Each structure stands twice: as structure tokens, then as C-alpha cells.
Structure 1
């Protein structure tokens, strides 16, 4: 704990020790031990699945539930040689410690630091998604009824083509770069990006999409309010011979009606899951405004399954430190949100969670092997443990069937003549 900067990490540096928390910590300890027993996780012995180094773990769990579990890991109070397995088993047993309710925040469009992308994903600089070559696609057309409740009312049932990629057969570390490039290519294919396409990447999360689109002879506008990413993108634009324009946004998303240009396609990577409901509606409305008739939207995002609902608090560490607006929407909810925009019509879905999770594993292992480089770049021990925990948590959520990964395409329908 002496190495924790209290100004940067106040919740990590200060263990909650109020009287009521201490009383609840005993119960938290017994519940955690029972959950580990039910999950088949050992706490002692040479082959222990996890080791508790400080009793502060139980004070944190008593105070903040899953967030406390994560913050205790960030503080170095417990460790595991197989963190994704431990988290997956706890999730599969339904471990859901009570915590003080913390409201979800608003989308802030923060991007992963580029240096972290390099250490986790390599020079491809693609954040999480991977599509390996060994998946077998199966396609079916599904029909979704209009939402039964809420403000979103589709006049007609929604029909969409869903392709599911089977899990990759053999995944090796050398496959990582190709799998990430294939994921970018798949997203651009779904947006019908090719020679002459005018593409908007908003809000941008990585230079990878723009670089791949330029290689297809497209012209790209990238928009972001993240200063570090904007600086990286401007360096790319200086070598792109006019094919890339960087737009620094004053806020997370463009203000509705302020964009005067029209685009053939709009893409989003790792953005939708981080958007609160208002931000998602604004983003979709912006897509509708800036697309030419017949233009395409393509997005890649994580989606929730029904089983996530009682375990949604497991995501609190993402909301607290990485994406305050993180929402566990289902694929159906995302599709209905798109369809709720008068001009947008969902066209197709690619479900590829089995590939995404293997990409996460490779990125986590790569980052774990480059922690010295991360430290040299200024990422302290707490941040490094946070990064490892969030990668392991997403991996566990996917393997436990609580999250899935999808790419969704939609088109802007031409307005009918009156």
C-alpha cells in the first residue's frame, strides 16, 4: 500500500474501516469463502487458485461488493495465477455480494491510451476484437417483436440476418495480429467501405480503423475528444496525403446538427457498450443526420445476455475507472435502439464472442509479459493491475455466457416522396 498514490487512487489508498463495514466484513469473508468452495477454488496450498494477502479484501467487499473485490486486487491484497478462471468460476456460482449502490455515469468517450494498445494489442493498435480464420459461419434470419415496454416502439417486427461464428479451433500468439486485422476488415466490409467511400469514425477509439480504410482508398474523418488519441491520429494524418482528417470534439459526441458533411458510412468500435442511454440515442441520431441515403452504419460492441442481470454489479469496476456510462445492453436492445431511429434499418449481425474472448486472452498475456515496459511508460502498479483485471473480467464474463460480442450493420433508408 505504500506505493499507492493517494491523490490518484484515493479509493485504493484508503481501506474502508467504519464500524458498520467492520461488522459486515465478517459476513463478507464467510460468504466469499463459501462462494470459493462452491466454485471449486482453493485458497490454500501450493496450488491455490487465489491467495488472500490482506484481510482488507473483506472490508472492501463489505463496502463495495464486486468493485471492492476489484479494488482489492488493484491494491495487491490478493492475487491469482489464473485470474480469468477465478473470476469465471465466481460468476458461474452467482457470487453477487451486496454493496452500496453507485449510480451509473455518463459516456465520456475516453480512449485506451495508445501506449497500452501497443503493449496489449501490438502495432495493429486494435483494442479488443479479434476474428480468427478457423471460425465456421452459420446464418439464420430472425424476427424480433417490437419492445413490449419502454419508449422504443417499433411499428413492425424487426427482421435481421444473424451470422454466428463458431469458436476458433486452434489459437496461437502469432495469430493475434492477423485476427485483429480480420476484425477491422470485417467491420469495414459490413459498412461497405471501399474505393471512394467517405467514412466517419465517431467517436474514434483507435487509429486502426482509419488506417485500414485508407488502405481501401477511402477518405476518412476521425472524431474524438481524447487529447492523446487526437495527437496520435494527427501524426497519422500528416502521412495520409489528405485521405484522413482529424476532428477534435469539444465533448464526447458531435453536437446534433453541427456536422455539415455527409458520409457514405459511419463506424464505431468499442463505443456502444460504454454509452449511457442518452449518448446512444445522440450517436444514432448523428448517424442518421450525416449519412447519405443508402449509407451504412457498422458498429462493434459487447452485449449482455439475460444471465448478466443479477450479476451486473461485476461491471462496476469498468464504470468506476474506465467507462462510466458502461451499460449491459442485449443484442436485441441495441437492434431496437437502431430501429427506433426513423431512417435507420438494421441489416445484419455477426456474433463472434468465441473469437473475441480468445483475443482478450492473447492481449492479457501479452500485457502481462510487458509490464516492465508499461512501468517505464508511467503506468503504475495499480493501473497495471486494473488493466489486467478488466481484461480478465471481460474474458470471464464471455466464457461464463454473461456477455457476447457482435458487429451490427444498418442502412439509412431513402426518404419517401410525399
Structure 2
């Protein structure tokens, strides 16, 4: 704990010791031990699945549930040689420690630090998603019934073509860059990006989408309010000979009616999962305003399954430290949200969680191998453990069937009478 900066990490530096928390800690300890037993996780011996180094772990769990479990890992109070396996087994047993209610935050469009992307994903800065060359696609047309509430309850059933990629058969470390590039290429295919396309990346998360698009002879506007990313985007644009324009947004998303340009396509990479419902509505409204008739919007994101709902608190560490608006939107709710816009009509979906999770594993292993470089770049031990934990958590959630990964697309229908 002596290495924890209390100004930067107040919740990590200060173990909760209130009387009520102390009284609940013993119960938290017994419940954790029972969950580990049910999950067939060993806590002792040379081959222990996890090792508890300090009893502060149980004070934190008693105070903040899954967030406390994560913060204890960040503090170095427990460790595991196979963190994704431990988290997956706890999730599969339904481990859901009680915690004080903490309100969910709002989407702030913060981007992953570029240096972290380099250490995790490599110089391509592709982000999280991967599509490996193995895996068999299966396509079916799915009819989705509108949710029976609000304005959607009188809507017509929604028919969408859904392609599911079977799990990759062989995954090696050397496949990482190619798989990430293939995921990005898939997204651009869904947006119908090609020669002459005028594309908006809103809000941008990395320069990768823009670089892949100009390789297809498209012209790109990249939009963000993240200062560090904007600097990186400006450096990339300076080498793109006018094919990339950087647009600094005053806030996470453009206000309706403020952007006057029109685009053939709008894409988003790894952003929608971090949007609260209000931000998602604003983003879809912006897409509708930005597109020309017949234009396409395509997004790549993690989605929650029905099984996630009772274990949603497992995501609290993401909300607390990385993306305050992180929301487990389901694929169906995203498609219905698109369809609720007057002009947008969902077209197709790709489900590829089995590929995404293998890419996460490779990124986590790559980052662990570059821990010294991360330290040299100023990411302290707490941040490094946070980064490893969030990668392992997403991997565990995917393997446990609580999250999936999708690419979705919709088309802007021409206005009547036009």
C-alpha cells in the first residue's frame, strides 16, 4: 500500500474501516470462501488458484462488492496466476456480493490512452476486437419482437439478418495484428466504405478506423473531445495528405443540429458499450442527422446477454475507473433503438464473441509481457493492475456467456416524397 498515490487513487489507498463494514467483513469472507469452494477454486497450497495476501480484501468486498474485489486486486491484496479463470468461475457460480448502491455515470467519450493500446494491441492501435481467419459463419434471418413498453410497444416486429461466427480453431500470438485488422475491415464492410466514401468516425477511439478507411480511398472526419487522442489524430492526419480531418468536439457527442456536414457512412469502434441510454439516443440522433439518404451507420461493441442482469455489478470497476456510462446493452435493444429512429433501419448483425475473447487474451498476455515498458511510460502499479483486471474481466464475462461481441449496421431511409 505504500506505493499507492492517495491523491490519484483515494479509494485504493484508504481501506474502508467503518464499524458497519467491519461487522459485515466476516460474512463477506465466509461468502467468498463458499463461492470459491462452489467454483472449485483453491485458496491455499503451491497451486492455489488465487492467494489472499491481506484481509483488507474482505473489508472492501463488504463495502463495495465486485468493485471492492477489483480494488483489492488493484491494491495488490490478492493475486492469481490465472485471473480470467478465477473471475469466470466466480461469475458462473453467480457470485454477487452485496454493496452500497452506486449510481451509474454518464458517457464521457474518454479514449484508451494511446500508449496502452500500443502495449496491448500493438502499433496498429486497433483496439479490442479480433476476427481470426478460422471460424465458420452461419446466417439466419431473425425476427425480433419490440419491447412492450413506451413508444416501441406498437412498433412492427423487426427482421434482421444475423451471422454468427463459430469459435476460431487455432489462435497464435502472431495472428493478433491480422485478426484485429480483419475485425476493423469487417466493420468498414458493414458501413459499405470504399472509394469515394465520406466517412465520420464518431466519437473516435483510435486512429485505426481512419487509417483503414483511407486505405480504401475514403475521406474521413475523426471526431473526439479527448485531448490526448486529438493530438495523436492530428499527427496521423498530418501524414494523410488531406484524407483525414480532425474535428474537436466540445463535449462527448455533438449537439443535435450543430454539425452541418453530411456523410456516406458513420462508424463507431468500442464506444457504444460505454454509452448510457441517454447518450446512445443522442448518438443515434447524430448519426441520423449526419448521414445522406442511403448512408450507413455501423458499430462494433460488446453487448450484454440476459444472464448478465443479476451480475451487472461485476462491471462496476469499468464504471468507476474507465467508462462511467458503461452499459450492458443487449444486441436486441441496440437494434430496436436503431429502429426507433424515424429514418434508420437495421440491416445486418455479426456475432463474434468467440473471436473477440481470444483477442482479449492475446492483448492481456502482451500487456503483461510489457509491464516494464508500461511503468516507464508512467503507468503506476495500480493502473497496470487495473488494466490487467479489466481485460481479464471482459474475457471472463465473454467466456461465461454474460457478454458477447457484435457488429451492427443500419441504413438511413430516404424521406418520403424525396
| C-alpha separation in 2, matches of 1:394 and 1:40 | 21
Equivalent residue for 1:294?
294
Q: Matches of 1:332 and 1:188 in 2, distance apart? A: 21
Match of 2:17 in 1: 17
Secondary structure at the aligned position of 1:374 is classed as helix
Moved more, 144-153 or 227-236: 144-153
- Matched with 2:246 is 246
TM-aligned CA distance change 1:193 to 1:258, over 3 Å: same
Partner of 1:86: 86
Asked whether the equivalents of residues 346 and 411 of structure 1 are also in contact (C-alpha less than 8 Å), the reply is yes
Q: Give CA-to-partner distance per residue, 1:324-373, whole Å, 9 cap, x none.
A: 00111111000000001000000000000000000000000000000000
Equivalent residue number for residue 105 of structure 2: 105
Match of 1:186 in 2: 186
TM-superposed CA distance for 1:155, in Å, is 2.2
Q: Does residue 365 of structure 2 align to residue 365 of structure 1?
A: yes
CA deviations on 1:387-410 (whole Å, 9 max, x unpaired) are: 000000000000000000000010
Q: RMSD over aligned Cα, in angstroms? A: 0.7
Partner residue in 2 for 1:410: 410
Offset, 1:321: 0.3
Q: Which residue of 1 aligns with 2:308?
A: 308
Distance in 2, Cα, partners of 1:364 & 1:146: 38
**Alpha-carbon distance in structure 2 between the residues aligned to 1:180 and 1:203:** 19
Compute the TM-score of the two structures, normalised by the length of structure 2: 0.99
Offset of residue 279 of structure 1: 0.5
Does residue 391 (structure 1) correspond to residue 395 (structure 2)? The answer is no
Q: 1:57 to 1:151 in 2, by over 3 A?
A: farther
**What is the DSSP-based 3-state SS (H/G/I as helix, E as strand, rest coil) of the residue aligned with 1:20?**
helix
Structure 2: stretches of 5+ with no match in the other structure: none
Q: Is the 8 A contact 1:113 1:228 kept in 2?
A: yes
CA distance 1:154–1:170, shift in 2 (3 Å)? farther
SS across alignment from 1:363: helix
- How far did 1:154 drift? 5.7
Distance 2:158 2:79 in 1: 46
For residue 30 of structure 1, report the CA deviation from its aligned partner: 0.2
Whole-angstrom CA distance in 2 between matches of 1:274 and 1:132: 25
Match of 1:68 in 2: 68
- Distance in 2 separating the partners of 1:346 and 1:50: 45
Deviation at 1:153, TM superposition (A): 4.2
Aligned length: 418
Cα distance, 1:151 vs. partner?
Answer: 4.3
Q: Are the counterparts in 2 of residues 154 and 339 from structure 1 also a CA contact under 8 Å?
A: no
